[in-house]
Structure 1
Amino acid sequence: MEILTDGPTILLSGDFDVRSTWEVRNAIYEHLQGHDEDVVIDLTEVTTIDMTALKVLAVATRQAARAGHHLTLRGCGPSVRRMLHLTRLIRVVEVERVAASA
């Protein structure tokens, strides 16, 4: 798992699973504590995601809300969206809408 930050955006790439959740969780919380702005988690380059990773995102969403911020997921591919729907976490996390192409 590679984690990069670009302003309010945290870019993730690779496998987001139980092996990388602690690292991602720490990066998100450090970002929330160090910045007074909303956070975007870019999952465009995430190849796989599991339930543990989704729980990290759901809890981080609630933590951000408690701090008065929004945490938005960007670049959710079909597999990530499917997992969000299957686990019903789509009700908890905010997913950036993608403009429909003409």
Structure 2
Amino acid sequence: MDIITDGPTLVLVGDFDVRSTMQVRAAIYDHLEGHDEDVVVDLTGVDVVDLTALKVLAVATRQASRSGHHLTLRGCGPAVRRMLHLSRLIRVVEVERAAASA
């Protein structure tokens, strides 16, 4: 898992699963502590996601909310969206709407 910081955005690239959750969790919490702005987690480069990874995002969303921030997921592909719906975590996380194509 590669994590690239681009301002308030954390761009994740690779497999987001149980092996990378600690790394992603640390990056999100460091970002929340170090910035006064909302955080966007860009999942465009994530092909594989598991329930453990999505739970990390759900807990981070709740933690961000408690500290007065928002955590938004961007670029959720079909696999990520499917897991969010199956796990019902779609109710907990904020997913950015895809821009309408012309």
**With structure 1 as the length reference, what TM-score do the two structures score?**
0.98
Displacement of 1:101 in angstroms is 1.4
Distance 2:101 2:28 in 1: 31
Give CA-to-partner distance per residue, 1:13-35, whole Å, 9 cap, x none: 00000000000000000000000
Give CA-to-partner distance per residue, 1:56-79, whole Å, 9 cap, x none: 000000000000000000000011
Deviating 4+ runs (over 2 angstroms): none
Displacement of 1:47 in angstroms is 1.4
What is the aligned-residue identity percentage?
79
Q: Which amino acid aligns with 2:64?
A: A
What residue in structure 2 maps to residue 6 of structure 1? 6
What residue in structure 2 maps to residue 23 of structure 1? 23
What residue in structure 2 maps to residue 57 of structure 1? 57
Displacement of 1:100 in angstroms is 2.1
Runs (5+) with no aligned partner, structure 1: none
Runs (5+) with no aligned partner, structure 2: none
- Partner of 1:69, secondary structure, is coil
**With structure 2 as the length reference, what TM-score do the two structures score?**
0.98
Q: Does 1:46 align with 2:46?
A: yes
Distance 1:21 1:47 in 2: 15
Aligned residues: 102
